[in-house]
Amino acid sequence: MPLKIIPDNTKIPFTKWRRLALAFSAALVAASIVAVMTLGLNFGVDFRGGVTIEVVDDQPIDIGRVRSTVSDLGLGNVKVQAIQDFAGSEEGVLVVVEQQRAEGGAEENEAAQQRASEEVQAALRGLLGEGIEFRKIEVVGPTVSGELIQRGAIAVMLAIGMMLIYIWFRFEWQFSLGAIVALVHDVIITLGMFAATRLEFNLSIIAAILTIVGYSMNDTVVVYDRVRENLRKYKKKPLPELLDLSINDTLSRTIMTSGTTLLALLSLYVLGGEVLRGFTFAMIWGIVIGTYSSIFVAAPFLTLTGVRREWGKAAAAAATP
């Protein structure tokens, strides 16, 4: 007998709580905007510029000695953290040095970054010996980091814009508006979470946000498809009841999809080490908030904009040969 986490024919009155949910979402969005504007995002080397060096050794590495050695170079703020393998043992360190600035233009700054990278490598060889391996060396200058911030913002806005056009053509403008409100809701709250927790915000987080946008939209489209089907079947059913029916019809699929995705992401978060932690945390947060917005924001928002019942009849007539 197959395992059923969500029973069939659930009758949860989701739209009954729509005002409370929308007020809760509005409060979260407002708090997130305030957090981003006042605290700002903790940009990583990708966006701020700087030097990232990942070094591994066959022997255990004393993190304190590495931190002291690199700090003595006088390169500004330095972050040193252990890198763990899947067994949980320390196999290396990640050294991050802040952006270096020199008098002159962008070329002088880029040269200063490169010199900082060479100094750190030389210091680590002197401390740990020549047998160490530099697994990753990244030098990001201020010019490149500024371009990355612009392109990351453009990528997110383009993704949301294309989703708006897709929903508009596939459904109706009311559906498109509800989907975009849910997407913007998810992105803003995710940014607010990063501002409040001070987790590092880097290029991998932009990738996570784009993935969240796609995941949330996919979940919303599943609910909207069922709403459209039910508009054709139930011509006189009140819209709130019809929305409740549609959400309950797709609830099992939503919970199972989100649950299995979260299991994989939790495994990555626990076992993937420090390098993957920020990305997987953003994805976990995004799956949770995206599932919530599909149920409590995107679908109930249709009660505010309204859906023409004539559209449902016209769509049914057009689908009939």
List the domains of the chain with CATH numbers: 14-43+145-319 (1.20.1640.10), 50-140 (3.30.70.260)
Tell me: the pLDDT tens digits for 4-16?
Answer: 566 667 788 888 8
- Gap between the Cα atoms of 234 and 230, Å rounded: 6
Residue 215 is predicted with a pLDDT of 82
How far CA 160 is from CA of 20, 147, 149, 155, 200, in Å, comes to 26, 20, 17, 9, 23
Q: For position 247, what pLDDT does the model report? A: 87
CB neighbour list of residue 73: distance below 8 Å, 6 or more residues apart: 116, 119, 120, 123
How many Cβ atoms sit within 10 Å of the Cβ of residue 263? Answer: 9
Q: Is the pTM of this model over 0.85?
A: no
Whether 177 and 184 have beta carbons less than 8 Å apart is answered as: no
Reported as a pLDDT band with limits 50, 70 and 90, residue 316 is very low
Looking at residue 102, its pLDDT comes to 63
DSSP H/E element including 105: none
Nearest CA-CA partner of 212 in 137, 266, 288: 288
